[in-house]
Amino acid sequence: MKKVLIIGASGSLAEIVIEALKPMTDVSLTLFVRNKSRLSRAIADNCILLEGDAMHYDSIKKVISGQDIVYVNLAGNLEAMGKNIVKAMHETGVKRIIAISSIGIYEIPLKSVLIPYRKLADVIEASDLDYTILRPDWFTNANEIDYAITHKGEPEIGSAISRKSIASFIATVIKNPELHTKANLGISKI
């Protein structure tokens, strides 16, 4: 059984990722949220649900210990939370991480709203973890799976992408964790 921790499980994208992962019979999901009441019963059903704050190192280390894959879906002070997560993964021997950043984090000048997402990517890339950083375009609720990937350094192409498409990609990586390691990828609809 593959143990997957979702940090920031109450986010709108994370909930679609959870729905995509639930049918995988070889995956055990642990959902980490600041406030359990923000998750619907349907989303939390058959998952381990833990409450805490990624800003508190001891809290995050405790939930990372024993996991196989960490999926990060956060907003806020991403540099501090990213440092806590990377440090906890190093100390507990957990190597595989998938993190959501944002399109546009390598543009110059960098928009202020994107600075936390750039810092998260920088923290993770500076680690020796087996990471996949995703830089999605704007999210839609379209009921479609249609995406293209670009690598860091390539022009970001495409347009707004469905949450379902991103969730499908993440489910593929969780099913095959050897895919896209040490990768920083743009993901958009073409």
What does 138-155 look like in DSSP terms, one character per residue? -EE--S----EEEETTSP
- Describe the crossing of helices 163-175 and 12-21 by its angle, rounded to 10 degrees: 50
Please write the tens of the pLDDT for every residue from 90-107.
999 999 999 999 999 999
Question: pTM for the complete prediction?
Answer: 0.97
Average pLDDT, the chain: 97
Of 190 and 102, more confident: 102
Please write the tens of the pLDDT for every residue from 17-56.
999 999 999 999 999 999 999 999 999 999 999 999 999 9
> Cα separation of 135 and 101, whole Å?
5
> Cα separation of 189 and 179, whole Å?
20
